[in-house]
A and B are shown apart, each in its own frame.
Chain A
Amino acid sequence: MASSMLKYATSSVVKKQVMGVTGLLLCGFLISHLIGNCLMYLGPEVFNKYAHALVTNPLIYLAEAGLASIFLIHIGLAAKLTIENNNARPDKYFVKQKTGHGATFASSTMPYTGLIILVFLILHLLDFKFGPLHTATYGGVEMRDIYKTVVDYFQSPLSVLWYIFCMIALGIHVSHGFWSAFQSIGFWHTKYTCLLQCLAKVFAVVITLGYSALPIYCYLQGGN
């Protein structure tokens, strides 16, 4: 029983399905994180209070552990699949040309855009979550002034550019990943597949533009 479960769980089809499901969950995280970020436009108090409420909620550890495991599964499996795929053709072609009707730039660069996002993720955590500590007091409650950490960070144009570059990579990644997840799970219908592919592109643009707007806003805010 257990061994047969393992046999199916480690099959190529299920591995891809796990990639798809974790990917879609991460897409959900992207949306919620983006909405949270948008609170920055409402000023330091709103944003800091939101961040404070988030980190002081006891459920945060559970949520963080869940999120971390989704990330780790997605990344670990991606590495495994990429290595396996590489091994499936040990002797490479002398010339290889795409048909022009199948692979897209996004689909053929998934491992690379994924790697960029991974590097970004680590730096992002170091810069913000574990970044410089400032405090602010609202209504007698002292809390972390994460707003200042963020605005300070984006005073460097290089940080802004790096951030936007990574968000473009992220957009490219999800523009294939989003619909690909549905294909892997087995959701295919003449009516909806086209729609999903379009939706993936719209989602990618929203994510890239949505996330890129904030660093520009912070940069323009300057020292104020």
Chain B
Amino acid sequence: MSSENLMTLNLKIWRQKNNKEKGEIVDYTIDGISPDASFLEMLDILNEKLIKEGSDPVAYDHDCREGICGMCSLMINGQAHGPEAETTTCQLHMRKYKDGDTIVIEPFRARAFPVLKDLMIDRQAFDDIIAAGGFVNVNTGNPQDANAILVPKENAELAMDAASCIGCAACVASCKNASAMLFVSAKVSQLALLPQGQVEADERVKNMVLKMDELGFGNCTNEAECEASCPKGISISNIARLNRDFLKAAVTSND
């Protein structure tokens, strides 16, 4: 890599000591960034520099760095996971930017996701929603024949599409209402579309929606910014499914 390709960037990063204190945007300049570096590698380089200077490195979430775990987040220039469609922050590369660019980096924001430090948020709320119903109970015993339960191919594919949700929370971050409907609808759909998910279908959708409301997420206004920001391209048709399943479960419920 010839050095003339290396970029100098102006970063505006949200710094916040902890959950209690107020944060602020802090300016940094970083040079020598290769277009081949990933966005997170660029932050690593910044952090190395900060550590060398004796200052506090920027805290941010990441794990697999290959777009499958859903740990990385970041609001990059006001877009969840940055400008590229169906791409997580860890899969975003600096070739998207040019020398001298200013990049604003903020945490995903929602009442339900408190900032822990800098760019790190607490996404416990998603786990709480899953715990409220996003599972199937399976009896132990001898495994039955794999082909005993028939699944229509189309449903299998729709369920698989819904199941590709990695729970990163980009849907909530990009929604102007901080609504978690896309996440909840994907987690409801992946089971509702399969015969194995039928037994608990009504309870699941009721409990997950009520939990979502209780945790302080906003109400969906069908803008589809969630779908457009989702690194897995999950469709808002799942939200429509959630809406009708919830209505049906609520109307027919015995409690």
Contact = CB atoms under 8 A, between A and B. Distances in A.
A95 B104 contact: yes
B200 interface: no
Interface stretch (B37-45, B132-140, B241-249): B241-249
B213 A8 contact: no
Contact of B216 (A7, A87, A99): A87
Contact of B109 (A11, A89, A180): A89
A186 interface: yes
Contacts of A16: 219-221, 243
Contact of B236 (A108, A110, A176, A183): A183
B222 A186 contact: no
Nearest to B218: A88
Given A89-B109, A101-B228, A186-B247, A108 B209 contact: no
A103 B220 CA distance: 12
A79 to B, nearest CB: 12
Contacts of B106: 93-95
Given A88-B216, A187-B240, A99 B229 contact: yes
Contacts of A150: none
A102 interface: yes
Interface residues of B, number: 54
Contacts of B216: 87-88
Interface in A60-101: 81, 84-85, 87-101
Contacts of A91: 109, 115
Contacts of A176: 222
Given A13-B247, A185-B243, A102 B209 contact: no
A16 B236 CA distance: 15
A188 B246 CA distance: 14
B91 interface: no
Nearest to B213: A12
B250 A11 contact: yes
Interface stretch (B50-58, B61-69, B71-79): B71-79
B178 interface: yes
A182 to B, nearest CB: 8
B168 to A, nearest CB: 15
A14 interface: yes
Interface in B203-250: 206, 209-210, 212-213, 216-229, 236-237, 239-247, 250
B142 interface: no
A186 B243 contact: yes
B89 interface: no
B210 A11 contact: yes
Q: Is the interface of B mostly helix, strand, loop or mixed?
A: mixed
A104 B237 CA distance: 18
A149 interface: no
Contacts of A98: 225
A175 to B, nearest CB: 12
Contacts of A104: 223
Contacts of A17: 243, 247
A16 to B, nearest CB: 6
B255 interface: yes
Interface string A1-20: 10010011001111111000
A15 B221 CA distance: 11
B161 to A, nearest CB: 13
Contacts of A97: 77-79
A186 B226 CA distance: 17
A37 interface: no
A93 B210 contact: no
B223 A95 contact: no
B253 interface: yes
Contact of A95 (B77, B209, B220, B239): B77
9 contacts: A85-B219, A89-B178, A94-B14, A94-B104, A94-B106, A100-B228, A102-B224, A186-B243, A188-B237
Interface of B: 12, 14, 25, 75, 77-79, 85, 104, 106, 109-112, 115, 174, 176-179, 181, 206, 209-210, 212-213, 216-229, 236-237, 239-247, 250, 253, 255
Interface of A: 1, 4, 7-8, 11-17, 81, 84-85, 87-104, 107-108, 110, 176, 179-180, 183-188, 190, 193
Give the top 10 A-B pairs by smallest Cβ distance, nearest first.
Answer: A186-B244, A188-B240, A88-B218, A97-B78, A102-B225, A8-B250, A85-B177, A186-B243, A102-B228, A99-B228
